[in-house]
């Protein structure tokens, strides 16, 4: 069959994809949750939550772009 160049078993490949999805999900949500907890602790609502949301968004998007080859679509300079 058309097996890819990855010599790992399908289970190992599945776990690698699950780990990647979990990592990206945590990068998006964890800073926002930490900001919310800081807001509750210090009474600064909604300042830290908003900062956490922005930081989480930037981290998640940066990691997603890095996984996709480092360039946003359409910026490669190649004509198709």
Residue pair 24/64 in contact (Cβ under 8 Å)? The answer is yes
In this prediction the pTM is 0.71
* 32 in any annotated domain: yes
Between 5 and 61, name the one with better pLDDT.
61
Question: How confident is the model at residue 68, as a pLDDT?
Answer: 85
Residue pair 49/29 in contact (Cβ under 8 Å)? The answer is no
Residue 80 has pLDDT above 80, yes or no: no
Question: How confident is the model at residue 75, as a pLDDT?
Answer: 56
20-63 pLDDT, tens digit each: 999 999 999 999 999 999 999 999 989 999 999 999 999 999 99
Per the structure, the complete domain to which residue 34 belongs is given by: 26-71
* 31 in any annotated domain: yes
Rounded-to-integer distance, Cα 28 and Cα 58, Å = 8
* 60 in any annotated domain: yes
* 9 in any annotated domain: no
Rounded-to-integer distance, Cα 62 and Cα 70, Å = 9
Between 75 and 8, name the one with better pLDDT.
8
**In the structure, what pLDDT confidence band is assigned to residue 72 with cuts at 50, 70 and 90?**
low
Residue pair 6/13 in contact (Cβ under 8 Å)? The answer is yes
* 77 in any annotated domain: no
């Amino acid at each position: 069959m058309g097996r890819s160049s990855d010599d790992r078993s399908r289970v190992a490949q599945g776990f690698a994809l699950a780990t990647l999805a979990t990592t990206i999900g945590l990068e998006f949500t964890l800073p926002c949750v930490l900001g919310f907890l800081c807001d509750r602790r210090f009474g600064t609502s909604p300042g830290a939550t908003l900062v956490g949301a922005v930081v989480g968004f930037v981290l998640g998007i940066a990691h997603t772009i890095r996984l996709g080859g480092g360039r946003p679509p359409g910026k490669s300079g190649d004509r198709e």
